[in-house]
Amino acid sequence: MERRITPKVRPAFLAALLLLSGMGFVSYRSTQQLVAAQRAVARSYQLVKELQALHAGLADAQTAQRGYLLTGQTRYLAPYQAAVPTIDKSLSALRQLTARDPQQQRSLARLQRLSAQQMALIHTTIALKRQKRFSPQAEAARIDEGKAVMDGVRTALAKMEAQEDRRLLGHRRQAERTADQTMRLIILASFLGVALVATVTVSIDREVARDLAQRRRADEERALALEELQHANERLAVLAACDGLTGLANHRAFHERLEAEFQRALRERTPLSLLLLDVDRFKQFNDTFGHLAGDEVLKTVAWRLEHEARGGNIVGGADLVARIGGEEFAVVLPQTDAVAAWLVAERLRTAIESWLWTKRAVTVSVGVATLAPADSHPITSSSDFFAAADAVLYRAKGSGRNRVIHADDAPELAARENPSAAAATVLERSFSQRAA
């Protein structure tokens, strides 16, 4: 049956058509903006991930150099050899990710120069050590020079990450503004549509009602898409601070927390202890059983550490358990003195050693450092604090592995001579943390 549109209905019908056209245009533009924002967010997170991988590779190379200088044993150069292709791969990926960003390209150029300088310095240092042409003064100068270059690397990394953080914030705000405008327009269009439908005939009213139902479904789908995008952004923010394999805090999150706890310990004059744990002979395990089996070992070690530190035998729990690179883990213990820290480290070492491993026994070496407020010459930076724990970790590995060594030998002696008092210290620290 032919439908006739009366002169009074025609303007309303045309207005409805215009309204629908406007809504379609706004919806299309909003969708394009959301897609563009999502792509920009994904690129920023990928760039941050590659920056972290580059930093981890340089840190591994520097750690390998330190281990070799301290021990003179070539097996400590394995992380350095593994870090070389990782660094090249990360730099290549960063060049692609910043290809359309002149500002980040300038920062990357400086970062590349510093990375090349650091790797050249490490290579030369190792070569001189092999030729036994190093005096203690020259060795100290090389270490200081390497530290200065790494400080520059960290500054460049922080600058690039800060730029990406600002962009991520801008993308989120833009997405929120777009979503808010879209929802307001949808609400306004709905009210206008209802008013227009009231003026048309029953036949047109049915058609308009059907169109409105379709629009409502589209609105719900867009709202759902916005909600999913928000959840995805939240998950990405969490992943940026988590280690993808173990679920623990990653290298970046660890150093941020260590710096915060270090400053708080200085400010409140409370003790702070740091445990660095390294899985013994992990490269040999990977070579024998494969990387998949090695990944399972790392996940199990991470689970045992977190279980023991937060829900197991240690009553108070640790403030942070993190995987900081490769087979290396860290535990931050606020308000924990040297004796209590040694006891905690021994508990963790025993928990790993006593686990029923399927392939072969797995053990860890642990280095412990404590910041004591009563020290006459306290450590003045979190990086020095980390270096102190790292140095004793290498002592633990060099003296036979599967052991705990504190930067100060006194805590181990005190814990062994009076274990009940040491355990009471851990309980006291636990209850004081809970009361705080």
pLDDT at 428 over 60: no
Q: Is residue 244 part of a domain?
A: no
List, in sequence order, every residue forming a beta bridge with 334; answer none if it has no partner. 272
Q: Is residue 198 part of a domain?
A: yes
Q: Is residue 326 part of a domain?
A: yes
What phi, psi does 250 have (nearest 5°)?
-95, -175
What is the 8-class DSSP label of residue 1?
-
The pLDDT of residue 294:
96
104-137 pLDDT, tens digit per residue, is 889 989 999 999 988 888 888 888 778 776 677 7
Which of 214, 239, 264 is where one domain is finished? 239
The H or E element containing residue 70 is helix 9-71
Q: How many domains is the chain built from?
A: 2
- In the structure, what pLDDT confidence band is assigned to residue 394 with cuts at 50, 70 and 90? very high
Mean pLDDT along residues 258-287: 95
Copy the structure tokens of residue 207: 């058609």
Please check whether residues 234 and 255 belong to one and the same domain.
no
6-60 pLDDT, tens digit per residue, is 665 667 667 778 877 877 887 788 788 778 878 888 888 888 888 889 889 888 8
- Rounded to whole angstroms, how far apart are CA atoms 424 and 118? 46
Cβ burial of 184 (10 Å; 0-12, 13-18, 19+) is exposed
Q: Which residues contact 211 (CB under 8 A, 6 or more apart)?
A: 20, 193
Please check whether residues 228 and 354 belong to one and the same domain.
no
Which of 205, 239, 273 is where one domain is finished? 239
Please check whether residues 137 and 197 belong to one and the same domain.
yes
Please check whether residues 177 and 311 belong to one and the same domain.
no
Predicted model pTM:
0.46
The pLDDT of residue 70:
79
Which range of residues forms the domain containing residue 295? 251-435
Round to the nearest angstrom and report the end-to-end CA distance of the chain.
80
Please check whether residues 198 and 93 belong to one and the same domain.
yes
- In the structure, what pLDDT confidence band is assigned to residue 315 with cuts at 50, 70 and 90? very low
Please check whether residues 227 and 307 belong to one and the same domain.
no
Please check whether residues 179 and 289 belong to one and the same domain.
no
Q: Is residue 246 part of a domain?
A: no
- Rounded to whole angstroms, how far apart are CA atoms 248 and 239? 10
Buried b (16+ CB within 10 A) or exposed e, 351-366: bbeebeeeeeebbbbb
The pLDDT of residue 359:
92
146-188 pLDDT, tens digit per residue, is 888 888 888 988 988 898 888 888 888 887 887 788 778 767 7
The pLDDT of residue 318:
56
Amino acid (1-letter code) at residue 346: E
The pLDDT of residue 316:
47
Please check whether residues 215 and 255 belong to one and the same domain.
no
The CATH number of the domain holding residue 301 is 3.30.70.270
% of the chain residues with pLDDT over 70: 83
Please check whether residues 233 and 205 belong to one and the same domain.
yes
Please check whether residues 68 and 202 belong to one and the same domain.
yes
Please check whether residues 199 and 322 belong to one and the same domain.
no
What phi, psi does 271 have (nearest 5°)?
-70, 155
Q: Is residue 104 part of a domain?
A: yes
The H or E element containing residue 6 is none
